[in-house]
């Protein structure tokens, strides 16, 4: 398990977080219980299994719903 910390472009309304959350819920390999989105800081945190998915795939899923990833960190 790896833990990811993503800084998104500034989110302008709470429905943005819902869109991103919905996109991340469809990804196998993300530990859904660990998923936390902060509207006020435009950040996403979660744990994921890097044998099942990759940061690249996750970032693409975020891009697909219309948001930019500014920075991501994986530990
Ligand atoms: Cu919005």
pLDDT in tens, 27-74: 999 999 999 999 999 999 999 999 999 999 999 999 999 999 999 999
CATH number of domain containing 58: 3.30.70.100
Would you give the DSSP letter of residue 9?
S
| Rounded Cα distance, 39 and 68, in Å | 14
| The total number of structural domains that make up the chain | 1
Cα-to-centroid distance, 60 and ligand 1 (Å) = 18
Average pLDDT of span 10-14: 94
Instruction: DSSP for 33-72, please give it.
Output: EEEEEETTTTEEEEEE-TTT--HHHHHHHHHHTT--EEEE
55-64 vs 14-25: helix crossing angle, rounded to 10: 130
Helix (H) or strand (E) segment spanning residue 22: helix 14-25
Residue list, CB under 5 A from ion ligand 1: 13, 15-16
Cα-to-centroid distance, 22 and ligand 1 (Å) = 13
Cα-to-centroid distance, 66 and ligand 1 (Å) = 10
């Amino acid at each position: 398990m790896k833990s990811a910390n993503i800084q998104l472009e500034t989110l302008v309304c709470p429905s943005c977080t819902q869109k991103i959350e919905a996109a991340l819920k469809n990804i196998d390999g993300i530990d859904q219980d660990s998923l936390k989105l902060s509207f006020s800081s435009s950040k996403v945190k979660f744990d994921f299994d890097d044998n099942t998915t990759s940061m690249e795939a996750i970032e693409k899923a975020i891009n697909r719903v219309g948001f930019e990833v500014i920075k991501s960190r994986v530990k």
